[in-house]
Structure 1
């Protein structure tokens, strides 16, 4: 019994919060009609293929759209193609074909990535030339061979064990 009362009270509180939340969206959405729950319960308009029904209509109702809405309540065969398109565009911004159409955004992404790579390469070359000191003379092959010869003559770090024997 107590659980049922608690559930009823929570449901009433959530209804009060939901109606209070909708009034905060009124100045964001204007006069646009809320037609369904939407993707996350907020009255927002998003064109998505995986969730094709936005919570609100795309455009605010005008006198032309209101007249078309009254006309659509009758026989749809009497509506022209342009009127049907106007009704669709009042509710939705894009068709599925327009949503799925390639945008070409990948070109700018690759362009910026190549620009960043070339810029970093130029910075590296400038740092190598003007900032870093030159390599010591011991890095050339002649000095390395002389160092190896010296290590062998001084018998530094000799290898012991079974594998060292011939």
Structure 2
């Protein structure tokens, strides 16, 4: 008895909605349905039958277009001498398999201008919000931040000999009344 038959089933097979005529759907069936009648010609990325132009994976798993009678006739002609094919027929064969050439999908597009513009506008709006919030939301600094108050506080720390081992008082010479 196989190991699969020994596993308990949650529901009887005849009640399972994923069973059609005794077959279960696999995870790749939906992409196979979506690809239509296009010929599968390779593994592609992750073994999925999908098409996209990529420099990293230059050969897609399926052809770009479905098979037509015109392309069938040219493919029969292709089996013979390639010199008998016209330039138009060679291009038609290429466009049957691929959407774009390397030069077309590697061409520099002007999308960077939009992205850069939106990024700079976002940066400008963020800076404006920061400046406005600093001006309007925050109070003036407290009086203890003024220079004369800070120096008085430092004198008081030294007079009280606060933290005499590692603090500010350890760097003050009490005999000469100056910094060490």
Aligned residue number for residue 99 of structure 1: 105
* RCO comparison, higher one (Cα < 8 Å, 6+): 1
Matched residue count: 152
- The secondary structure found in structure 2 opposite 1:102 is coil
Give the TM-score normalised by the residue count of structure 1: 0.71
Bigger Cα displacement from structure 2, 47-56 vs 104-113: 104-113
Aligned residue number for residue 19 of structure 2: none
Tell me the CA shift for residue 22 of structure 1: 5.3
Q: Gaps (5+ residues) in structure 1?
A: 7-16
Tell me the CA shift for residue 56 of structure 1: 0.3
Aligned residue number for residue 20 of structure 2: none
Q: 1:140 to 1:55 in 2, by over 3 A?
A: same
Q: Gaps (5+ residues) in structure 2?
A: 4-22
| In structure 2, distance between residues paired with 1:48 and 1:38 | 11
Give CA deviations for 1:89-143 in whole Å, capped at 9, x if unaligned: 1101122223333234444443333222222111111211222222223323343
Give the TM-score normalised by the residue count of structure 2: 0.66
Give CA deviations for 1:41-97 in whole Å, capped at 9, x if unaligned: 110112222322111001122333233223222321111112111110110112222
Residue 59 of structure 2, aligned match among 49, 53, 56: 53
